[in-house]
Structure 1
Amino acid sequence: MSDPAAAPRLGGTAQAAVMAGRSLRISSRNTDALITSLALPIMLMLIFVYFFGGAIETGVAYDSYVMYVVPGVLLLCAGFGAATTATAVSEDMKGGIIDRFRSLDVGATPVLAGHVAASTVRNLCATVLVFGVALLIGFRPAASLSGWLLAATVLIAYIVALSWISAAIGLLARSPEAASGFTFFMSFLPYPSSAFVRIESMPSWLHGFAENQPVTPAIDSLRLLLLGQPAGNTPWIALAWAGGMLAVAMVASGALFRHRTR
């Protein structure tokens, strides 16, 4: 009989893949949260387009309000989808499964990376669904191949960064309910930005925050790239924001995990 101690151990990448598969299976069973994260961005897009779109002035660069609002909804969808990561991580910490993982020599990085990878897959599926509905209600992108690739890069970078931030929140919160509450602030960020209205139409005291918060350059990049308009250095500013948030979130997640499991 072979000695279990002598059995080869999975590497970090393989462990993360196993953890991602576990998180996806858990997500598939949590149908309420899955449906909410998919349906809410679509409902908000339909509400803004059909209820408020006729009263919102977006300038002469856009034929209709749906052409303006869809990029913002894509980022909003990323925020809603990433928020479930905080709850999932908090449930793992509260349920004691982390102690069992540690006994199997599974460290912080594979566990958290698995949650983030699963969040990215869920978010990409939700993005495809939201984008499909947008096409049905009149969104007509005019991006070049390079524009599509750069827009996808910006979107995926923000999904990953927001997912790692959510993982850190899940480690910081002491309960899944608290984790869900903390992520509200992250999901709120697209509203005081250029997602739904032009920043110039907001009160003057809000301009500074709306123009210089991390979500605004991402939304502007997606809008300009998808509509085939010159984007300048806006995508690179957006990617710099995403890279900075990702670095901070990964360092914070590692420190919080060590603190919670010592």
Structure 2
Amino acid sequence: MAENRLGIPLQPSVLFKLPFDKNRLSVTAYHENIIADSPRLLCRYMDPLNYPYYSSYGVHELSIQRRGPALKLKYVNDERLFSHTWLLLIFKTWQRLVLFHCSFLALKARSLSTTFIAPEEYRIEGERRLFQGCPCSQILDDNFQHSLYIFQDDLTHAYRLHAAVGNGELRRCPVWTAFVSELQMNSDTWIERHSRHRVRVKDLHIFVFCNEYRRKAQIRRHGEFELNFTHAAGADAFINVFRPGDSDSEDAVGAIDVPPAQ
């Protein structure tokens, strides 16, 4: 069996599986040993005669980089002196590309076998950073300090919010991301300033990449998602991305910091 040849256990813990090209190619993320916490990717490819071929690498052995609508996964040896392209995955939507990239990076950052992540792997080529993880953009998120970013994709011109670990060994590891819809962009009420440090966002659907993260900790009475900035200047700058000049309104200046409503 292919699983035996690749050293895959009989009952691996599957994290996710994605089909490509009408399922002629698929990529499965799995744990070969949950205790060791060393996730791997399994690629299955069907040849023109429908004969399957398999290949598998640990996420710590791979690097990731965007190429237009595709993600390139490259094998890199331990000394980082040799590499070759393993997979080129073409995505139909920017959202699916982003979710795969963030999922891969979160797995790689948390793998006990990972010794190095190149800085460029944290970036998705073709995205512009409109709001970055500087000190004023730090948020208190489920009682953790996270860096908040706003990205805009050059191809689709769409926006997304992105939260990453703010400090420590896992710094820049993705925690969650959320895509901003056109309906939200055209609404005057989807972002509301609740206090000097707090901004509430309506109808925000976040995709979480960390098992320990509790989304409900940030959800308020009417379903709004609350962003609690450590600096009021961060809340100003965040609102200014979507509503230039609005952060200096009387409501924003006169707001006082109050405990969040549960």
- If the length of structure 2 is used for normalisation, what is the TM-score? 0.27
RCO greater where, 1 or 2, for CA within 8 Å and sep 6 or more?
1
Which structure has the highest helix share of the two?
Answer: 1
Which structure has the highest strand share of the two?
Answer: 2
